[in-house]
Amino acid sequence: MPESPPISSLRFCAIDFESAGARPGKTDVPVQIGLARWSLASGHQDPYVSYLASSEPVTWAARKVHGIGDEDLRHAPKIQEIWPAIRNHLDGHVVVAHGMGTEKRFLRAFPGHRFGPWIDTLLLAACPDRRWHDALFDARGSLHLLEKIIIDFALQDRPIDTLLHPDLTVWSKSRGR
């Protein structure tokens, strides 16, 4: 059996879908896709995001979670229309998702795609013998993310207000607020 390559030689692409929300008797559908590539050699590059046309209206509960409404999807492409962009991002990359079941399910629209291998960051638990939605698991995960943000953005010497009141100007403009 050949030895697996070192992490430093690999390229990763994270994928995430937002959905219209589950309804009794209906199949959940994606309404947004995000793809981001990273490698140790090249850093973060080529982010991609698109709304997706939906055959189902966005539920109230889903909108409360992600803020996407039916009005955002009016001129959105069908997932099949952006297949070249999805394939371009995922081909040749280790695919990363947080709870990969949803992402794998929505990618079934493209049978035989052969993306992978897959890394599920949900399984890389910060707390052994705990599971997703366990209070300690989620608390530890929050602290690990906070640590990463503080270190990556060199916030160690900034006042706490930097974290309490982040500048959301760019985000607000993107949401039309």
- Kindly state the average pLDDT of the residues 61-71: 90
Query: Which regions of the chain carry the CATH code 3.30.420.10?
Result: 1-124
Q: What is residue 174's predicted lDDT score, i.e. its pLDDT? A: 66
pLDDT in tens, 132-161: 667 777 777 777 778 888 899 898 998 888
Weakest mean pLDDT among 51-65, 111-125, 157-171: 111-125
Q: What is the pTM of this model?
A: 0.77
- Kindly state the average pLDDT of the residues 103-107: 89
- Kindly state the average pLDDT of the residues 40-66: 91
14 or 2, which is more confident: 14
Task: Give yes or no for a contact between 95 and 89, defined as CB atoms under 8 angstroms apart.
Answer: no
Residues 102, 106: Cα–Cα separation, whole Å: 6
Residue 173 has pLDDT above 80, yes or no: no
Binning pLDDT at 50, 70 and 90, where does residue 48 land?
very high
Dihedral sign from CA coordinates of 32, 147, 13, 95: negative
Name the average pLDDT for the chain. 85
- Tokens 């503080």 locate to 150
Other Cβ atoms less than 10 A from the Cβ of 17: the count is 19
Task: Reduce the DSSP state of residue 44 to 3 states and report it.
Answer: strand
- Kindly state the average pLDDT of the residues 8-29: 88
The single-letter code of the amino acid at 18 is E
- For domain 1-124, the question of CATH label 3.30.420.10 is answered with yes
77: left (phi over 0), alpha (psi -120 to 50) or beta: beta
